[in-house]
Structure formats: C-alpha cells, structure tokens
A = this chain, B = another copy of it.
C-alpha cells in the first residue's frame, strides 16, 4: 500500500538515531529525543497558489530533510510502518553530502 499526499504535503520516514554505548555497542532506536531528520517517501503535487495553479514542492523522493523540533506529530501508519506527514513549509532544508 502507498500513500499519495495531497498538495504541499510531504511523507517522511523519520531517521532512527543510533546510539553507541561506552563499550561500543550500537543501540538503534533508543534515542531519548527523536531526530528531526528523515527521508522523503512521497510528495504531493504542490501548494495551490491564489490563481489556482500548483507550485511543485522543493523536495523530492529520497531527499534527506531536516525539520523543526515541533514538527512531526502528524503520523499515519502504512503497512505497519509509522510515517510523518509534513507540510512543505515545515521543512527547513535538504542535507547534501
């Protein structure tokens, strides 16, 4: 099953923070604070302008995006996986290597 977000909504898979103990053991997914990064899973067709046209969103599938610490509370479950629903305006930027 797939979700097709409407308009300027963006579906994001939140990054799992890895934690390493003093002894070097990696503890995936046990982060005290959830990381505000994730991978774009799907994007809508864009924000609707006053003149009725759509403006494509500025991120694309596969991008690693950063968002605010107060974003990310809207979630949906698709095939047992929790995904975030963000507005494009909640996304600060794209991380590039």
Contacts and interface: CB of A to CB of B under 8 A. Distances in A.
A5 B93 contact: yes
B49 A4 contact: no
Contacts of A96: 1-4
A33 B6 CA distance: 24
A51 interface: yes
**Chain A interface: which size bin?**
35 or more
Interface of A: 1-7, 9, 11, 36, 42, 44-45, 47-53, 55, 58-59, 66, 68-69, 74, 76, 78, 85, 88, 91-97
Given A3-B95, A45-B58, 17 more contacts: A1-B96, A1-B97, A2-B97, A3-B92, A3-B93, A4-B96, A6-B58, A6-B59, A6-B88, A6-B93, A9-B93, A11-B93, A49-B50, A49-B51, A51-B52, A52-B53, A74-B92
